[in-house]
């Protein structure tokens, strides 16, 4: 099941769905995104990861033959009060230790029974989500979560399909793969693991964020640069002004020193990132000038490196790409 929430992690929902047409399912957050996929002709399972929030949404789920998570008693009551139509496809979310969404494992069986009493032709998959699958030092936590999940299943006669693994668990814990895996970040070529980049895992970046230098400035010794004048030249230097800023999704808190490629050569961000522009050090890149290609992340510059420098994770950078950024895609 390909996780394509947040506009496919900033890559464009329909574009990514077309590229991944061979998957057995898609997982999204918003009902609108699910409907968009269905209306675009995708016939696979489409799962709403947080389920529904109103009766109207239950009706839309029926109408568009969507699958839904149920994670709380409010949703359960709403569903059980609803007329029985179609063949509901429910992913029953169990909270095994993340403590975000889900029923307690000891409630699992009674919820299952109530669902089955409500509708005999219902399909149910058990689902849980790991809190620490990216960290090998937290293997105990993963084991604990697996243990609570297994205890719930032991009490059932007959087997119920299960889904547990996100990207990190897919890579680190093959024992968690079960019936459906739910990869997100690895589909986009980035790493879910804090100690490895996508490239190091044999993945290829799907998104490359590029722009161009639109002006060049010459700083003298002690000249200050940009808002707040925080960067101070310690020698005469050339600075490239790049047409990309936080309104494009480049992180404003990326500090001086964050890696950037100019004409494919590695240099550094200097000064504060502003809304529409950022500035880079052109020392030693003499041929660079107005019009030179700048790579902010992607091919040649792992997004994980930029994320680390900005004290965040690749997920946040990719998902925050702004709609104003023009897309050039090898997929129609
Ligand atoms: C986002 C999400 C995933 C995918 O996570 P990645 O770390 O990107 O693989 C899987 N399952 C659920 C429930 C999610 O919300």
Query: Would you write out the chain's pLDDT as a tens digit for each of its 332 residues?
Result: 999 999 999 999 999 999 999 999 999 999 999 999 999 999 999 999 999 999 999 999 999 999 999 999 999 999 999 888 789 999 999 999 999 999 999 999 999 999 999 999 999 999 999 999 888 888 899 999 998 888 887 666 568 999 999 999 999 999 999 999 999 999 999 999 999 999 999 999 999 999 999 999 999 999 999 999 999 999 999 999 999 999 999 999 999 999 999 999 999 999 999 999 999 999 999 999 999 999 999 999 999 999 999 999 999 999 999 999 999 988 76
What pLDDT shows up at residue 84?
A: 82
Please state which CATH number belongs to domain 209-319: 2.40.37.10
**Whole-number Å distance between alpha carbons of 190 and 313:** 10
Which residues form the pocket of ligand 1, taking CB atoms under 6 Å from any ligand atom? Answer: 3, 5, 49, 129, 166-168, 182-185, 192
What pLDDT shows up at residue 83?
A: 84
Fold of domain 2-196: TIM Barrel (3.20.20)
Best of 166, 169, 181, 191 for a ligand 1 pocket test (most atoms within 8 Å of beta carbon): 166
Q: What is the pTM of this model?
A: 0.95
Q: What angle do CA 205, 166, 45 make, to 5 degrees?
A: 95
Give the distance (Å) from ligand 1 centre to CA of residue 18. 20
Q: What are the CA-CA distances from residue 199 to residues 19, 134, 165, 188, 317 (Å)? A: 20, 17, 21, 11, 17
**Whole-number Å distance between alpha carbons of 312 and 330:** 28
Give the distance (Å) from ligand 1 centre to CA of residue 329. 24
What pLDDT shows up at residue 30?
A: 95
Give the distance (Å) from ligand 1 centre to CA of residue 166. 5
Q: How far is CA 82 from the centre of its chain?
A: 33
What pLDDT shows up at residue 55?
A: 93
Give the distance (Å) from ligand 1 centre to CA of residue 23. 16
Closest ligand 1 atom to Cα of 3: 4
84: annotated active-site residue: no
| Active-site position among 5, 93, 173, 315 | 5
Domains of the chain, by residue range, sit at 2-196, 209-319
| Active-site position among 64, 87, 173, 227 | 227
Give the distance (Å) from ligand 1 centre to CA of residue 224. 43
5: annotated active-site residue: yes
What pLDDT shows up at residue 124?
A: 96
Closest ligand 1 atom to Cα of 69: 13
Give the closest residue to 45 by CA, choosing from 91, 92, 100: 91
């Amino acid at each position: 099941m390909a996780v394509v929430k947040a506009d496919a992690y900033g890559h464009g929902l329909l574009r990514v769905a077309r590229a991944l047409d061979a998957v057995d399912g898609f997982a999204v957050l918003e009902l609108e995104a699910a409907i968009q996929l269905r209306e675009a002709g995708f016939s696979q399972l489409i799962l709403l990861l947080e389920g529904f929030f109103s009766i109207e949404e239950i009706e839309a789920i029926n109408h568009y033959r969507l699958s839904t998570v149920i994670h709380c008693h409010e949703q359960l009551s709403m569903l059980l009060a609803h007329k029985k139509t179609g063949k509901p496809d429910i992913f029953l979310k169990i909270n095994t230790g993340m403590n975000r969404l889900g029923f307690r494992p000891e409630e699992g069986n009674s919820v299952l029974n109530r669902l089955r009493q409500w509708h005999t032709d219902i399909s149910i998959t058990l689902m849980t989500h790991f809190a620490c699958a990216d960290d090998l030092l937290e293997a105990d936590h993963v084991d604990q979560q697996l243990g609570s999940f297994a205890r719930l299943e032991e009490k059932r006669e007959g087997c119920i399909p299960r889904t547990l693994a996100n990207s990190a668990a897919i890579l680190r814990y093959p024992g968690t793969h079960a019936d459906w895996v739910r990869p997100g970040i690895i589909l986009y070529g980035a790493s879910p693991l804090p100690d490895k980049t996508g490239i190091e895992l044999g993945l290829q970046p799907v998104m490359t964020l590029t722009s161009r230098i639109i002006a060049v400035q010459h700083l003298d010794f002690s000249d200050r640069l940009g808002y707040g004048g925080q960067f101070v030249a310690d020698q005469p230097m050339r600075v490239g002004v790049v047409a990309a800023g936080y309104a494009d999704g480049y992180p404003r808190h990326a500090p001086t020193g964050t890696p950037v490629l100019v004409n494919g050569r590695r240099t550094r961000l200097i000064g504060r990132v502003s809304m529409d522009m950022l500035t880079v050090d052109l020392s030693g890149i003499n041929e660079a000038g107005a019009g030179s290609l700048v790579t902010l992340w992607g091919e040649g510059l792992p997004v994980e490196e930029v994320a680390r420098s900005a004290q965040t994770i690749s997920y946040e950078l990719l998902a925050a790409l702004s709609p104003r950024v023009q897309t050039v895609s090898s997929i129609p």
